[in-house]
A = this chain, B = another copy of it.
């Protein structure tokens, strides 16, 4: 790592104050949310125990054995609106993110989860094991502080930094960019996919029948959560990073692993699934590694939909520019047009009869 130069943001304070007052005014014109219950809980997880005998008279003695550590759970914030619909919505974030991805936007507009709370859905916002409020894990980790904002800016298809993609649905002001970068949050432990799947399954044990919304790296554990827990009645996947094929039908170079036994895979054919992709994904390979990456993911997604549907499934791939919605980044749910996107998703839920009370 190169030597970091520290910059303090005292000048930003004035900006924030101006931004806040106009912003608050805008939001206060909305109808109030009526919440019959809200709260937080942990779901699932594991426990490790050290040998020895704990001495309660000297609790800080080191090493102090005979102790437990509870970790690897998910952390959930939930809200239940008045006259809630039958199916809860459960939101799982992507890599380097937390439930913040769904709760707000870079420029402080209403997040995707609140847009659906307004539509009468209960919302369950998850921090996966080792992320955000679910920071306690059973396996240590080194958290680095290497500057990498521009890598993510580029990977998330905001543009080839410092450029913005033309016609992008992303706020270009420096304050929004600052807020966006601050939504990243690191892994606090060595977490593998099975930990996430186990914890997510416990979330559905608590929420009951629901619809799983996933973003990016949340996609892969999302498929396996649906396989594991029958409370998952549908999946809305936003640019999932990987796909689970059946054994023997895995395309070359698939990022989703070596294939599932058919009896497991077949569970994905029993529920409706919709997958959304944003803009700026090229048809042919380019000289930009990030764009080629997403070109590969979209191609794999289309192939996966064919395979699931050939096995009797109900997968729809929606490449937004093909239905006339342009300019979306990898963060479709918080882009400037997220209200329009929410309407597209709401219509799909309605068509699948998943919006009933």
Interfacial residues, chain A to chain B (CB-CB below 8 A): 1-9, 13, 16-17, 20, 24, 27-28, 30, 32-52, 54, 56-60, 63-71, 73, 75, 77, 82, 98-100, 103-104, 108, 110-111, 114, 127, 131-151, 154-155, 159-163, 178-179, 181-186, 188-189, 202, 205-206, 287-290
Contacts and interface: CB of A to CB of B under 8 A. Distances in A.
Q: Name the residue in A43, A133, A289 with the highest tally of chain B Cβ atoms < 10 Å from its Cβ.
A: A133
Contacts of A184: 70, 135-136
14 contacts: A2-B63, A7-B46, A9-B46, A35-B35, A40-B104, A50-B146, A56-B150, A67-B147, A75-B100, A131-B135, A134-B185, A136-B181, A136-B185, A140-B145
A66 B32 contact: no
B155 A189 contact: no
B49 A13 contact: no
Nearest to A148: B67
A290 to B, nearest CB: 6
Nearest to A31: B36
B48 A5 contact: yes
A133 B57 contact: no
Contacts of A114: 38-39
Nearest to A105: B39
B135 A54 contact: no
Contacts of A48: 4-7, 145, 147
Nearest to A207: B20
